[in-house]
Chain A
């Protein structure tokens, strides 16, 4: 047995209270195997990895046993642990950009890792660095070794990080969410690399992840953690085929899977019309290079693409936050006083009258207004009252110094002439609509969970009953079971309120659940758009095909088939 964790209990002392991060965690890992520790945030999976590395903060009390090749790691001398870290145990972290020192070259940093554990001449170190970078599948290792972190892509950095982790032939590789920060095509490459390395250098991999697709793709055995306890431990095929524990089932059910698409709604009047939009961030960086899009009333358009594709820029342009270089973004004029009258109604949805959209041709050109935000302040304000926005990270999109009720009331204060009592009623309706108890309104954002905060952000975006909602990756900062509930809520709200929506996401499975139509962006251009059914089930453009093939499916057997069928992705 290579690694054996027995009865691991980790507790943290905070302000006199003792809180347990893990309770009696136990698992074993053999050479040449991949063990996945799976769980949602707060499940104790990262803490367990840190305990193996001996990197827990001083406030942590650890009981139990961790043995590596029969050697007890708990209570081992700091010198010995330092020798093991980077020597017998290699580590790959989540954020490759943050894990490298920005002022040294990649080659220097990998070389330093080697020199810490071995006495080699500088020529030998250089040669070894070149070998390692070649091993992890980087073309032109010389150039990579000379590069600084900011000159490389996320995928290249993560490969370099893996090169550093395996530099001293570790027997155990700990990969803490190794692909979470990466795009799906880069992720596929890294997962392939890890799988290949496991066989080639005969190392064991402890994979920490929240993504069931990644588990299905790479793991041999799975340990499911819930609130610091192991609830299930099984080989990967059995876990997916017949999950024994209730929590595992919930986790698997929450994973968005490809299946039925939403039927397109009856064609409504146009709400949004983007024509030949070009956005340059500087004379050299073109974020959006001529994009045209249409959204009809009550329609959800999924805008998908990888990081840097320009999809978020389009969202920001529509909010009037980014000046455009050329092109137009026409938003239908809003019917002015529709949502002041229903404030006395008790039902959350009744009284929110359907929005009568005018032709966007007669609407407001936000792109033109945003060019002079001060001069056009008044017109811009009016345009913005017809657009709601939900941002990616609910923790930062709510003002930490204001109560949740104040945040939700903000659009009402800005655009509607309501008394304080009327505002309170409307805030109550909105909280009810997003299924939060009215008493939550008195809380501050830091007193809520991530899912609750995102519900608040959605309530704020819907406060004015806008005809158009922009959702920029609204669920990607959330745990998968929370994401499933937020998506269900979003869908029912969309049915009830009938707003049109630009749904920006990198997650194709999420988009499939919500969107009527899909547009795929790649390097600032829309490469394919059409009905969800058409784009996601019968993609025409090679980029869309590659994107779809790169997504790991939460089913080990099907994933193995997909992997075999996949054309080798470029990285």
Chain B
């Protein structure tokens, strides 16, 4: 077995063409999200202003491809005539905010639960594991829809969505991290550190976490797209981000009804959602290969 010692993780990542493409796409979307008001402002648009001149009496956009023009680069929303380009670029903000925040929340809970369960074992592990099983089987979608009806209207809807999908997203991470921790517990270098007299704090910080970091990072990049997808799904069902805040999922939900007459209304937000999730998955895949020091290429 030969291992190339000169290869830095970053170098093997940049050698992976698909991972680079994924990374570039993610960065591009992040820039778009950050500069959303500027970008939509170039043509003098924002995602809230109605433009009833751009739609016919039946509500369908006037012109080619759902009303694509110099003013409306992606066309307009049927019925209201709001600028679709502004909606898509602002929608990226919602998707990233929810995706990152919910991922951070579920990774935090999942890693803490998984590492402690794997490390301490015994009744604590059994309790956590059973709880994870329950969480896996929990009909969270039904729960969230019901929750939407109960929570007071004053409670910020975006925060609620982050909390809900974050709090339901951690069991997968916890199970993976628990398994890895148990595997690490039997590795000789962990036994060696224990035999040197290392306590739980030292073991977790210096022996377990450095060997879990790549798993955590890779799992995070793989979780972000599923969180973005979950937010889109909730918005699609009408229990997600409330109007008029732009969200890809809700636009896609609206567009389904218009698909026969105005297909471009579905294509633009759909493509954005597809590109972002694919990009994160490609990047995560490349990251996993690059971060394992024993990966041989």
Contacts and interface: CB of A to CB of B under 8 A. Distances in A.
Contacts of A396: 187-189
Contact of A391 (B3, B188, B206, B294): B188
B8 interface: no
Contacts of B196: 384-385, 389, 410-411, 414, 460
A321 B185 CA distance: 12
A55 interface: no
Interface stretch (B43-51, B197-205, B261-269, B270-278): B197-205
A380 B195 CA distance: 9
Contact of A319 (B5, B195, B199): B195
Contact of B293 (A15, A377, A446, A457): A446
B150 interface: no
Contacts of B187: 396
B80 interface: no
A402 B210 CA distance: 8
Interface string A1-36: 000000000000011000100000000000000000
A397 B192 contact: yes
Nearest to B191: A321
A398 interface: yes
Contact of B197 (A19, A385, A446): A385
Contact of B206 (A377, A383, A385, A402): A402
B193 interface: yes
A563 B82 CA distance: 95
B4 interface: yes
B197 A393 contact: no
A474 to B, nearest CB: 12
Q: How large is the interface on B (under 10, 10 to 19, 20 to 34, 35 or more residues)?
A: 20 to 34
A383, A401, A407 — which one has the most chain B CB atoms within 10 A of its CB?
Answer: A401
Nearest to A19: B2
Contact of B194 (A321, A398, A399, A413): A321
Nearest to B297: A15
B297 A398 contact: no
A373 to B, nearest CB: 9
Nearest to B207: A399
A401 B210 contact: yes
A383 B194 CA distance: 12
A543 interface: no
B197 A14 contact: no
Given A410-B206, A444-B293, A446-B3, A398 B189 contact: yes
Contacts of B4: 15
A407 B2 CA distance: 23
Interface string A372-402: 0000010011111101010101001111111
Interface in A307-348: 319-321
Interface string B156-196: 00000000000000000000000000000001111111111
B149 interface: no
A112 interface: no
A58 B155 CA distance: 61
A399 B210 contact: yes
A415 interface: yes
B296 interface: yes
B14 interface: no
Contacts of A447: 3, 5
Nearest to B189: A399
Nearest to A320: B195
A14 B297 CA distance: 7
Contacts of A15: 4, 297
Contacts of A320: 195
Nearest to B198: A414
Interface in A397-449: 397-402, 406-407, 410-411, 413-415, 444, 446-447
Contacts of A460: 192, 196
B226 interface: no
B211 interface: yes
Interface string A348-383: 000000000000000000000000000001001111
A397 B196 CA distance: 12
A129 B255 CA distance: 70
Interface in B1-30: 2-5
A7 B296 CA distance: 29
B189 A414 contact: no
B3 A381 contact: no
A101 B74 CA distance: 61
A411 B206 CA distance: 12
A17 to B, nearest CB: 8
B293 A400 contact: yes
B197 A380 contact: yes
A446 B1 CA distance: 11
A424 to B, nearest CB: 17
B193 A410 contact: yes
A415 B196 CA distance: 9
A239 to B, nearest CB: 30
B177 to A, nearest CB: 16
Closest 9 CB pairs of A and B: A384-B197, A319-B195, A401-B210, A381-B197, A397-B188, A396-B188, A399-B189, A447-B5, A411-B196
28 contacts: A15-B297, A19-B2, A319-B195, A320-B195, A321-B194, A321-B195, A384-B197, A387-B195, A389-B192, A389-B195, A391-B188, A391-B192, A396-B187, A396-B188, A396-B189, A397-B189, A398-B189, A399-B206, A399-B207, A399-B210, A399-B211, A401-B211, A410-B206, A413-B202, A414-B196, A415-B197, A444-B293, A446-B294
